[in-house]
Structure 1
Amino acid sequence: MHIRSVLITALTAAVTASTLTAAVGTASAADDEGSCSQHVSIHGYSDALDKTSFQDTYVGNLSALAADREGRISALSDRSVLFGLDQALKPTSVVSLADESGQPLDSEGLVIDRDGTRLVSSETEPSVRRYAADGTLLARLPVPANLSVTAPGGAIVNRTFEGLTMDRSGRTLTASMEGWLRSDGVDTRRFQTWHRGGDGEFAVGPQYAYVAEKGYGISEIAATRDGRYLVLERSFAADVGWTAKLYLADPQGASDVSTVASLTSTQQDVRFMGRTLLADLSDCPAGDAISKVPHQRNPLIGNIEGMAVTDVHGKRLRVLMVTDDDESGTAITRMYAMDIRLPCR
């Protein structure tokens, strides 16, 4: 099975919400060729961006993907660079981002708002900032003190806002912590929300608790149309290489843990978000994929950090994912096209 060539053909045809589906085709429940599980199928992958440059800027270190209202894709580097991509997923623009002092960000999450501005999370402080399309810094959202890496917060440096997503209404923004707070159990993660008011500004909303797989961090989240979240967890171990699992999290009925100083996964007074495994991506067929990572059990899988929903048909989603190559000779910038069929609530 040559899933790589399938995806390259599809992605060079188009990547907008409507044409990507037409180009790749829609998997049916009986279509098992690219099946990773009963809920997830892979249509292919492309390494076309690996070790490339655009306008003297390295195209790699990609940590996030986002689609605008017309289905155009942007890719964010954790080296503070934002790329616009064409229908073939080739760069067409590059913009550098900076903080209030003109310094680069450790940029990890990306949302394109309804007005075309970019919301970008950084895991340094952590922070969420709003930028114009040309990279001009417009605003910074408030972040609860307990999520800060400095006192009185309990966050761990480089383990904060890795994921960022917005609901379909454009009223709720959500950031996910990659790791745990020092006061929390090591398997707990916090999701922070903001709600948009009538003035168009975001105010801090509820904070939810999530239990992650042992040894895994949350690398990305994506809101579904019914108020749930796709949650991408990934891990690295020397004897198996990179692994990744895709979950569906449901905040319905979950507790607001904003004022809970310490979380453990066994707490009886806290209602954690519901969590359903959609697929262990290591079970996806590797096709003709290669990997340079030593002992990589499934050569298809790398450090998957970015994820964006590009098309929706009821409970069936078309999703694009990307790996972070960290400018390493053993890692690859790889994009994946996935079909996800959501289970009912």
Structure 2
Amino acid sequence: MRLRSAFVLAAVPAVVALVTVAGPVAPAQADVEAAGGSHACSPSVTINSFSDALNKTTFDNTFVGNLSALAVDTDGSILALADRSSLFNLDGRTKKPTKVVPLADENGKPLDSEAIVVDADGTRLITSEVEPSIRRYDRDGHLIAGSLPVPDALRVAPAGRATTNLTFEGLTMQPGDRTLIASMEGPLSGDEPDLHRFQTWTRPNPKADLTLGAQYAYRGDPGLGISDIAATGDGRLLVLERGFTEGVGNTVRLYLADPRGATDVSKVENLTPQTDTHLIGKTLLADIGKCPTLGATAKQPQPNPLLDNIEGIAVTRHEGGGRLRLLLVSDDNENPVQITRLYSLTATLPKR
């Protein structure tokens, strides 16, 4: 979902200046790393570097921005999904674009594409917030299968009880490629505020069709939405919670979530304080606003100039001992006062 203040929408011209690049992007800024001192954001998370090299650039006549999700492709490259129906391939080492493909629905219309998973066969499962939906595409962006089934309650009103632009913002696949999970950015009408539904699809093996599975409830921090999720490799999830306050800036927190023991709420119409359910457990790993700035600058008020509208997360490497290398990305909304920024972090997870 695009987060920006009403003031910014009113005051910023619709057209932004772009840096046009023929072929791979020439870095506007190299990766910036802390020169000595602590990289710690928390006891569990350190920030290694950030890069603004993609900010306000184009590749193959396509704006490189509006990035809402990341995934690691089968060849080790990075997929960066724009919510304006574009999918970029980024070099796994340099993070420079190497390819971009357009996306469309069955009628050739653009998507509000927010989250991506690379399936076992290399095809891409991509969400759109509009309905919401999850569709399957090949490596060249061609639609190759219809949408996955979605429970009626999760559809945008009046078809269901979801709010426009607060639907499938996160998507991940659990180890074994047999359980797909989508996270709702906001609560359903009739549910307790800050309770978000996580929908699963399951299959007996990676070659079978995905069918509707259990649904769980997760309590977000007050005022924050779920911007993305990522599987940790041991059945747990990383959850990005994010919000924006005009004149203050962004809040971004990284949580470790554990679905074990959570109640299947797929048949629970309204989640209220009286509902007898066990929620997905969560543990704060880091408030990204407490990371060292590494010299970052911001173009609008921020509690930490490193922050922006962070929307996507991917696990890029498992290093053993519970250590994960993470890549995060911010969505600039093609807004002059927002930045497309990549963040490299290392998280050390507690044992299950």
TM score, norm. by length of structure 1 = 0.89
Match of 2:235 among 220, 227, 230: 227
Alignment correspondent of 1:59: 64
**Aligned 1:125-144 pairs, distance under 5 A:** 125-139=131-145, 140-144=147-151
Match of 2:292 among 285, 294, 297: 285
Count of aligned residue pairs for this structure pair: 321
Q: Distance in 1 between the 2:332 and 2:174 partners?
A: 29
Residue deviations 1:226-279, cap 9 Å, x none? 111100000101242011000011110100000101113x34511101011111
Give the superposition deviation at 1:64. Answer: 0.3
Alignment correspondent of 2:259: 251
- Could you tell me which amino acid in structure 1 is paired with residue 45 of structure 2? V
Alignment correspondent of 1:182: 189
Structure 2 vs 1, CA of residues 46 and 275 (structure 1 numbering), >3 Å: closer, same or farther?
same
Q: Distance in 2 between the 1:248 and 1:196 partners?
A: 25
Pairing 1:209–2:217 present: yes
Q: Distance in 2 between the 1:134 and 1:68 partners?
A: 13
TM score, norm. by length of structure 2 = 0.88
Alignment correspondent of 2:75: 70
**8 Å contact 1:197–1:203 — kept in the other structure?**
no
Residue deviations 1:16-68, cap 9 Å, x none? xxxxxxxx9xxxxxx97110001110001000000000011000000000002
- Could you tell me which amino acid in structure 1 is paired with residue 235 of structure 2? G
DSSP-derived class of the 2:311 partner: strand
Pairing 1:8–2:39 present: no
Alignment correspondent of 1:33: 38
Alignment correspondent of 2:164: 157
DSSP-derived class of the 2:31 partner: helix
Q: Distance in 2 between the 1:248 and 1:205 partners?
A: 22
Q: Distance in 2 between the 1:269 and 1:321 partners?
A: 35
Q: Distance in 2 between the 1:117 and 1:321 partners?
A: 22
Alignment correspondent of 1:27: none
Match of 1:43 among 44, 48, 55: 48
DSSP-derived class of the 1:8 partner: coil
DSSP-derived class of the 1:282 partner: helix
- Could you tell me which amino acid in structure 1 is paired with residue 124 of structure 2? R
Which range is displaced more, 32-41 or 331-340?
Answer: 32-41
* Identity across the alignment (%): 55
- Could you tell me which amino acid in structure 1 is paired with residue 31 of structure 2? I
Alignment correspondent of 1:200: 208
Give the superposition deviation at 1:115. Answer: 1.2
Q: Distance in 1 between the 2:311 and 2:75 partners?
A: 23
Give the superposition deviation at 1:8. Answer: 2.0
Q: Distance in 1 between the 2:263 and 2:154 partners?
A: 17
Alignment correspondent of 1:298: 304
Pairing 1:325–2:332 present: yes
Give the superposition deviation at 1:113. Answer: 1.2
- Could you tell me which amino acid in structure 2 is paired with residue 57 of structure 1? T
**8 Å contact 2:126–2:135 — kept in the other structure?**
yes
**8 Å contact 1:68–1:113 — kept in the other structure?**
no
Give the superposition deviation at 1:7. Answer: 7.2
Cα RMSD of the aligned pairs, angstroms, is: 1.9
Alignment correspondent of 2:97: 91
Structure 2 vs 1, CA of residues 205 and 68 (structure 1 numbering), >3 Å: closer, same or farther?
same
Give the superposition deviation at 1:197. Answer: 3.3
Q: Distance in 1 between the 2:292 and 2:47 partners?
A: 8
Q: Distance in 2 between the 1:102 and 1:112 partners?
A: 22
Alignment correspondent of 1:119: 125
Structure 2 gap ranges (5+):
1-26
